[in-house]
């Protein structure tokens, strides 16, 4: 399925490959030559009255009505408006939320994290203690493994990127590496797993292989330059870069080291993937490579012929995104998109692709490949291996149908 990118000749002599490889200036030139924009009059005059005063806290321009979409209450979630965002960072107040028993109010002065089990020195860390260790800051996406179910089972055309895939966001996370804490408590060489338990009423608990703790796990207390938001686990959460959202236990209160998994409710009755052959995938931690075009996408429309910037996000729990290909004809021909810097491991990556719309019906698709060579599957491929009974890990390609009137609908490939 990994066909070679196409060299596609445009009527004005520019090849798509050259355009993609070229600079923004080349694209700008192509646009100018087409002169798609009205060339009218002078710039608007500057404001005469003096502006508002400086404030202690900033706020969005009132015209920018960015909102999460909320579903449910205590057992609830809210979705990031992917179609309204630029770059790769999700503003903290728009980071998606998923709570199994609401957002607890935890006093940071009362907060404690117990680390015990197969360790030499069982220890209780308060927040101040956690902050005395060397801090690390890294950009990582988080994604609920249930994200994208409405692009797999009940595929309706009137769905925005937020509704289809809004259970993923990216923040810069700051905290202490779990490996640092493991050395501090002297974890036993025979310990192979640890239990991570949350301090909310859900008592969310997951078993995590210890290799992840030595690799890149952290206890995060910072998000985008400030303390975690309450809904992201204030004052501290477990962060397991690239692993399904559920294992990133919020309001973390206890880590217990052992030589076996704990088989908790959250990893036996839930967060397993039933397969067509009657067995189930357990401990399916890693989020596989995925991408979605966020513009143009429903409910926005393509409002005229000529050049458009097709853009979206790609990410992989296994490392860096190595390429994203875009098709405008439903997956018959593919061309490479530009990956915007920075391209970071286990992080949203912004891709862009110049596309000249000639008014014909089009089917826009994106396909992510990560640095391990893993290629995002088609819907048919994913359904073949996972069947229809699964509730998690829907990383199949998404498609947007552009109709002759410029309206865009969520759709299936082919
Ligand atoms: N303690 C606790 N941790 C939790 C949850 C929870 O309900 N309680 N929800 C999990 C799920 S299902 C997801 S997808 C992520 C969501 O993290 P976020 O709300 O910061 O986006 O947190 C996980 N950690
Ligand atoms: Mo989740």
What string of pLDDT tens digits covers the 414 residues of the chain? Answer: 333 333 333 434 344 444 444 445 455 555 555 566 777 889 999 999 999 999 999 999 999 999 999 998 878 999 999 999 999 999 999 999 999 999 999 999 999 999 999 999 999 999 999 999 999 999 999 999 999 998 888 789 999 999 999 999 999 999 999 999 999 999 999 999 999 999 999 989 999 999 999 999 999 999 999 999 999 999 999 999 999 999 999 999 999 999 999 999 888 888 888 888 888 888 989 999 999 999 999 999 999 999 999 999 999 999 999 999 999 999 999 999 999 999 999 999 999 999 999 999 999 999 999 999 999 999 999 999 998 888 899 999 999 999 999 999 998 664
Question: Could you give the CA distance from residue 98 to residue 167 in angstroms, rounded to a whole number?
Answer: 8
List residues bridging with 411 in a β-sheet.
399
What does pTM read for this prediction? Answer: 0.91
Question: Could you give the CA distance from residue 162 to residue 283 in angstroms, rounded to a whole number?
Answer: 27
Sequence ranges of the domains in the chain: 69-281, 290-411
Give 3 Cα–ligand 1 centroid separation in angstroms.
Answer: 38
Burial class (CB in 10 A: 0-12, 13-18, 19+), 26: middle
Q: Which atom of ligand 1 is nearest to the CA of 77?
A: 19
Give 51 Cα–ligand 2 centroid separation in angstroms.
Answer: 44
Cβ neighbours for 312, distance < 8 A, ≥ 6 positions apart: 161, 291, 292, 293, 294, 295, 324, 350, 351, 366
Question: Could you give the CA distance from residue 342 to residue 10 in angstroms, rounded to a whole number?
Answer: 30
- Pull the structure tokens for residue 51: 């502006």
Our answer on whether the CB atom of 151 is closer than 6 Å to any ligand 1 atom is no
Question: Could you tell me which of 252, 265, 269, 250 has the C-alpha nearest to residue 102?
Answer: 250
Fold of 69-281: Sulfite Oxidase; Chain A, domain 2 (3.90.420)
Give 372 Cα–ligand 2 centroid separation in angstroms.
Answer: 25
Give 307 Cα–ligand 1 centroid separation in angstroms.
Answer: 40
Strands (E) in 199-348, as ranges, are 205-209, 218-223, 226-227, 237-239, 252-258, 273-274, 280-281, 290-295, 306-315, 321-327, 335-336, 338-339
In the sheet with 321-327, reading across from the earlier edge strand, the strands are 335-336, 321-327, 362-370, 399-402, 408-411
pLDDT of residue 15: 46
* 237 touches 247 (CB < 8 A): no
Give 270 Cα–ligand 2 centroid separation in angstroms.
Answer: 10
Question: Could you tell me which of 245, 133, 257, 153 has the C-alpha nearest to residue 195?
Answer: 257
Question: Could you give the CA distance from residue 379 to residue 395 in angstroms, rounded to a whole number?
Answer: 8
Q: What is the dihedral of CA 267, 202, 150, 65, to 10 degrees?
A: -140
Question: Could you give the CA distance from residue 226 to residue 292 in angstroms, rounded to a whole number?
Answer: 29
Q: For atom 11 of ligand 1, which residue has the closest CA?
A: 246
Our answer on whether the CB atom of 152 is closer than 6 Å to any ligand 1 atom is no
Give 289 Cα–ligand 1 centroid separation in angstroms.
Answer: 21
Q: Which atom of ligand 1 is nearest to the CA of 251?
A: 1
Q: Which atom of ligand 1 is nearest to the CA of 147?
A: 14
Question: Could you tell me which of 380, 398, 363 has the C-alpha nearest to residue 291?
Answer: 398
pLDDT of residue 215: 98
Our answer on whether the CB atom of 146 is closer than 6 Å to any ligand 1 atom is no
- Pull the structure tokens for residue 206: 């997951």
CATH for the stretch 290-411: 2.60.40.650
Give 215 Cα–ligand 2 centroid separation in angstroms.
Answer: 22
Q: For atom 2 of ligand 1, which residue has the closest CA?
A: 250
* 236 touches 254 (CB < 8 A): no
Query: Which bin fits 176, alpha (ψ -120 to 50), beta or left (φ > 0)?
Result: beta
Our answer on whether the CB atom of 246 is closer than 6 Å to any ligand 1 atom is yes
* 325 touches 336 (CB < 8 A): yes
pLDDT of residue 280: 85
CA triplet 276, 277, 279: central angle to 5 degrees? 100
Q: For atom 23 of ligand 1, which residue has the closest CA?
A: 246
Cβ neighbours for 275, distance < 8 A, ≥ 6 positions apart: 281, 385, 386, 387, 389, 390
CA triplet 269, 270, 274: central angle to 5 degrees? 90
pLDDT of residue 30: 53
Our answer on whether the CB atom of 98 is closer than 6 Å to any ligand 1 atom is yes
Question: Could you tell me which of 3, 30, 1, 2 has the C-alpha nearest to residue 16?
Answer: 30
Our answer on whether the CB atom of 231 is closer than 6 Å to any ligand 1 atom is yes
Tell me which ligand sits closest to the C-alpha of residue 99.
1
Tokens 């809904």 belong to 231
82, 100, 265: residue to mutate for ligand 1 pocket, most atoms within 8 A of CB: 100
Q: pLDDT digits over 18-31, tens only?
A: 444 444 545 555 55
- Pull the structure tokens for residue 190: 């025979």
* 196 touches 217 (CB < 8 A): no
Q: Would you give the distance in Å from CA 213 to the centre of its chain? A: 22
What is the helix (H) or strand (E) element at residue 211, kind and residue range? helix 210-215
Q: Which atom of ligand 1 is nearest to the CA of 96?
A: 21
Give 249 Cα–ligand 1 centroid separation in angstroms.
Answer: 6
Q: pLDDT digits over 253-276, tens only?
A: 999 999 999 999 888 888 888 888
Handedness of CA 351, 355, 357, 360 (dihedral sign): negative
72, 204, 228, 252: residue to mutate for ligand 1 pocket, most atoms within 8 A of CB: 204
Tell me which ligand sits closest to the C-alpha of residue 79.
1
Our answer on whether the CB atom of 166 is closer than 6 Å to any ligand 1 atom is no
Our answer on whether the CB atom of 234 is closer than 6 Å to any ligand 1 atom is no
Give 323 Cα–ligand 1 centroid separation in angstroms.
Answer: 29
Our answer on whether the CB atom of 202 is closer than 6 Å to any ligand 1 atom is yes
């Amino acid at each position: 399925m990994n066909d070679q990118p196409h060299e596609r000749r445009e009527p004005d002599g520019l090849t798509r490959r050259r355009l993609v490889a070229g600079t923004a200036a080349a694209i700008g030139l192509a646009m100018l030559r087409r002169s798609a924009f009205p060339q009218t009059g002078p710039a608007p005059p500057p404001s005469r009255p003096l502006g508002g005063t400086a404030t202690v806290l900033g706020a969005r321009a009132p015209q920018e009505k960015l909102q999460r979409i909320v579903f449910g209450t205590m057992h609830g979630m809210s979705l990031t408006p992917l179609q309204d965002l630029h770059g790769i960072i999700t503003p903290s107040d728009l980071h998606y939320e998923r709570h199994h028993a609401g957002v607890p109010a935890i006093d940071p002065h009362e907060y404690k994290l117990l680390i015990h089990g197969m360790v030499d020195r069982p220890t209780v860390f308060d927040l101040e203690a956690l902050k005395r260790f060397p801090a690390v800051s890294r950009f990582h996406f988080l994604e609920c493994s249930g994200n994208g179910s409405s692009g797999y089972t009940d595929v309706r055309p009137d769905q925005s990127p937020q509704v289809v895939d809004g259970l993923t966001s990216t923040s810069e996370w700051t905290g202490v590496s779990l490996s640092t804490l493991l050395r501090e408590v002297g974890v036993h060489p025979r310990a192979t797993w640890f239990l991570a338990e949350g301090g909310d009423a859900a008592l969310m608990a997951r078993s995590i292989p210890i290799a992840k703790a030595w690799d890149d796990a952290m206890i995060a207390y910072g998000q985008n330059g400030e303390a975690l938001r309450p809904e992201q686990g204030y004052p501290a959460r477990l962060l397991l870069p690239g692993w399904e959202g559920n294992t990133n236990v919020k309001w973390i209160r206890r880590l217990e080291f052992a030589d076996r998994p704990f088989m908790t409710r959250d990893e036996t009755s839930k967060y397993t993937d039933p397969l067509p052959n009657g067995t189930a995938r357990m401990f399916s931690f890693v989020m596989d490579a995925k991408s979605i075009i966020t513009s143009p996408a429903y409910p926005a429309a393509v409002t005229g012929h000529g050049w458009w910037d097709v853009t979206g996000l790609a990410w992989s729990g296994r490392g860096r995104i190595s390429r994203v290909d875009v098709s405008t004809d439903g997956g018959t021909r593919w061309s490479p998109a530009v990956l915007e810097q920075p391209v970071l491991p286990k992080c949203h990556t912004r891709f862009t692709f110049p596309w000249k719309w000639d008014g014909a019906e089009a089917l826009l698709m994106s396909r992510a490949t990560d640095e391990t060579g893993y290629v995002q599957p088609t819907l048919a491929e994913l359904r073949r291996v996972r069947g229809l009974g699964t509730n998690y890990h829907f990383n199949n390609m998404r498609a947007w149908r552009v109709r002759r009137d410029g309206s865009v609908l969520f759709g299936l490939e082919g």
